[in-house]
Chains A and B, each alone.
Chain A
Amino acid sequence: MPRVLLIEDDPSVREGVELGLRRRGHELRSVETGEEGLAALGEFLPDLVLLDLMLPGMNGVQVCRLIRETSQLPIIMLTARGDDFDVVVGLEAGADDYIVKPARTEVIEARIRAVLRRLAEPAGRGGIEFHGELAVDRAGLSVAKAGQRLLLAPSELKLLLHLSASPEQVFSRQQLLEYVWEHSYHGDARLVDACVRRLRQKIEDVAGSPRYIQTVRGFGYRFGPLA
């Protein structure tokens, strides 16, 4: 069972989520502030962070950025719907997904599982694929560009693996939400857009004129062609 670090300042939410997830067998550590959370990373070694955006002192977005500087740890934001701007900022800061409060434990657990789940490997493929300067190792779950290994957050890696598995095929945002994030078809397409932006900054030569992840206006995204 995954180890979850919960950073949440409100005691009732903290206790409720803690109680719910513990019963489902998760190992949980809950802290009140971002500073405590960052300190707990090293000794608790969580598999995933549940991060409230509204924190006293250092806020959730800052915590998210600091974690992303050194780690590919999956991060799920806890947010209140309507704090739309915070969601966008949180996603840009590198969060993989978000959960709107209030949420049932089963919803929270489903999101945790989805973020941690590895994409099903396409059958009959092995070894390392090369796409331009990108080297994609599906088994090893790593991507390198020009020999340099890239630090990709889980959602970025899953999106890249999914798109590059079917080069030149167009996926709509809704399809990507379903496949990569396991959200409903009608989920928040900003998840996809924010993730694509982050991914482009890491893999494209010029983020403004993307080569690997291309936008197909009115339809969605595709990988390549790399001509």
Chain B
Amino acid sequence: MKLFAARFGLRTRLIGAFLLVAAISVVTTATLTYREARSAILQQAQDTAVAQFRDRIAAQAVTLPVDPEQLRRTCQTLAGEGKPHTWFVFAEYGKTRVSSTDQPTSGVITPALRDAARGDVHGSFQRVVKNGKPWLTIGMPAVFDRGDGRQPTGLVLYAVMPLSSEEANVNAMVTAARDGALPALLIALVPALLAARSVLRPVRDLRRAAAGIGRGELDTRIEVKGSDELAELAWTFNESSTKLQESVEELQRAEARARRFASDVSHELRTPLAGMLAVTEVLDEDAAQLNADTAAAVRLISAETGKLATLVEDLMEISRFDAKAADLHLDEVDVAETIRKTLQGRHWEDRVRTELPDGIRAMLDPRRFDIVVANLVGNALRHGAQPVTVRLRTERRGAARWLVTEVADNGPGIDSAVLPHIFDRFYKADAARTRSAGSGLGLAITQENVRLHGGTVRAVNGPAGGAVLTVELPMEGQ
């Protein structure tokens, strides 16, 4: 059934069921009608014939012993009286066989009828089909009555009557039933199609609407027609999608508020920080002349102001990604040169091994690519162990060429529980771990920058231990 359901659509199954029910009704009706009508026709024909035959025999005087010639005449007389059916009359008495025809005996009369006719004074009859033709055969013993009930005389008369006209009537009925059934089935197809349509249209609408919701078109609604179960389903669907839309909008509003808040806070922090950061050098330079406690406090403030400025910058950068306000300024650059400049700018040349083939040019945002490489290498230097290696290569995938940048360290690798989260914002591998040099947003910003380029970044642990972070960017830009 499952296979059937899977193989055929709802429409096919509906129409099939409709036609099956129609066919069963038609066939049942036709069969019952045929059987009833057929037995009524035949019953009537044979009852008439049997009664008539009995009356006619009773009207004939038969003398015993039987004279064949007289018996033949009796037979012919009886045969002439067969109305509305013509029948042939055969007589049997002992070994004597005479008939109203030119043959003394009939092949249609069965031994069973003979036995029955001899044993029963009321006579017997039988319907016989011979060579495809239906016959009614009646056996009627001639009786005499001497006041002690009727006794058989030993003479048995048989009437053999063709039932072809009745057969023709019955056949005509079969033909009529068959001719009626096919149009009936065809007519049944019309309501079947209409019903299928009336069921399937709402189902189709529902499917389309559900797909719309799936695509994120949460304002999709269905027109509710009528008041049947499907209309109720459509109504329920509309209710649910309204609720869903409201929840999603509320969530989006809440998220937008949260993001705007983060962005606003960063903005507001920036102005006082600008003043503070400009004077940290004054603090640093003069700390030496202060007493030890004040000097320590002043240096702490100076150092933390710097970190705070970095954190606020990173927060603002993330806010811009969230607000989709981050722009990509693509430029065609020499990638090896770009990476070397990143390492030089941070004085990392001595601590990082490079495998940078020359001559690779790609469409990149140099500032963002610098941040990506710097964050990955900085992360490897902080959390992994030297040597840190930066490898560059290109890959061809279909028509597009991809730039693959790999940063590997020689440390213990990243805990597998931590691995899926390293690009999360403010994710700390160890909750108790002290704050490191980074803002906790470095890898999240890296990921956003890579995505902005239409690329991917992933982290795995290398076969020889140590983390391997791989950035893949389309070389022609997006």
Contacts and interface: CB of A to CB of B under 8 A. Distances in A.
B338 A185 contact: yes
Contacts of B332: 218-219
A124 interface: no
B345 A16 contact: no
Given A102-B273, A189-B366, A218-B332, A20 B267 contact: no
Given A13-B271, A82-B320, A174-B333, A185 B366 contact: yes
A186 B367 contact: yes
Interface string B265-290: 00100111111111111100100000
Interface string A42-79: 00000000000000000000000000000000000000
A16 B277 contact: yes
Interface in B352-401: 361, 366-367, 369-370
A69 to B, nearest CB: 29
Interface string A182-221: 0011111110000000000000000000000000001100
A184 B271 contact: no
A10 B271 contact: yes
Interface in A1-25: 10, 12-17, 19-20, 23
Interface string B329-340: 101111001100
Contacts of B277: 16, 102-104
A105 interface: yes
A172 to B, nearest CB: 7
A102 B367 contact: no
Contacts of B278: 13, 16-17, 19-20, 102-105, 108
A172 B332 CA distance: 9
Interface in A78-129: 80-82, 84, 101-106, 108
B316 to A, nearest CB: 6
Contact of A186 (B306, B316, B320, B341): B341
A173 interface: yes
B166 interface: no
Interface residues of B, number: 39
A185 B340 CA distance: 10
Interface in B234-285: 267, 270-282, 285
A20 B282 CA distance: 7
Contact of A102 (B274, B331, B333, B366): B274
B313 to A, nearest CB: 7
B325 interface: yes
A12 B272 contact: yes
Nearest to B332: A218
A16 B276 contact: yes
Contacts of A13: 271, 274-275, 278
Interface string A164-182: 0000000011100000000
A189 B366 CA distance: 9
Given A102-B309, A186-B345, A12 B367 contact: no
A189 B281 contact: no
A81 B325 CA distance: 12
Contacts of B325: 82
Given A101-B270, A172-B333, A186 B370 contact: yes
B369 A186 contact: yes
18 contacts: A12-B271, A14-B275, A16-B275, A16-B276, A16-B278, A17-B275, A19-B282, A101-B271, A102-B312, A103-B277, A104-B277, A104-B281, A172-B331, A173-B331, A184-B341, A186-B369, A190-B329, A218-B332
The 5 closest A-B pairs by CB, nearest first: A12-B275, A16-B278, A16-B275, A186-B370, A102-B274
